[in-house]
Amino acid sequence: MWIAYLHLYIQYVPLICLAIGFILFCIAYILENNSVKQIALALFVLVAISTYVFLRSGEGSPNLIKEIRGIDYKLIHEHENKAANLQGLLYLLGLVSLIGLWAQLKNKNYYKTICLIAICLSALAISGGFFLKY
């Protein structure tokens, strides 16, 4: 049963880090500050890692809570499917962010393009992440 509680405790870590990273990225674009962009990209990498932990902790939860009265298994299945779709997007965001951190470190000329892709992916993830039913 502890795995279900772990899933509930860490469920907001990816979404909060994603929202903070997005806000920081917007501020960094306005101020044209590469240090703040690096922090936002690092937060997006943290989002990808915490998403992995979060979703692994949620795998055993349906078996534990399906015995509770009033819980509709169809809602749980729908929640799992939406989370799986969002998972791919968050992993892609983490990968793009890692590439962005590397590109900034090596002074690559496509760093700004990578940052633009990362901010678009984070906006998509935010819009999708807050529509999961709990």
For residue 1, pLDDT beyond 80? no
pLDDT of residue 66: 64
60 domain-assigned: yes
Residue 62 lies in a domain: yes
Give the pLDDT confidence score for residue 102 in this predicted structure: 95
pLDDT for 26 beyond 70: yes
* pLDDT on residue 24: 94
In a domain, 134, yes or no: no
Residue 47: inside a domain? yes
- pLDDT of 118 higher than 80: yes
**Each residue's pLDDT tens digit, 34-89:** 899 999 999 999 999 988 887 777 666 666 666 666 777 777 777 777 777 888 89
CA distance 103 to 107: 6
Q: How many domains does the chain have?
A: 1
pLDDT score of 37: 92
Residue 134 has a pLDDT of 46
Q: Tens digit of pLDDT for each residue in 78-106?
A: 777 777 788 889 999 999 999 999 999 99
Domain limits for position 77: 2-129
Of 4 and 113, the structure prediction assigns the larger pLDDT to: 113
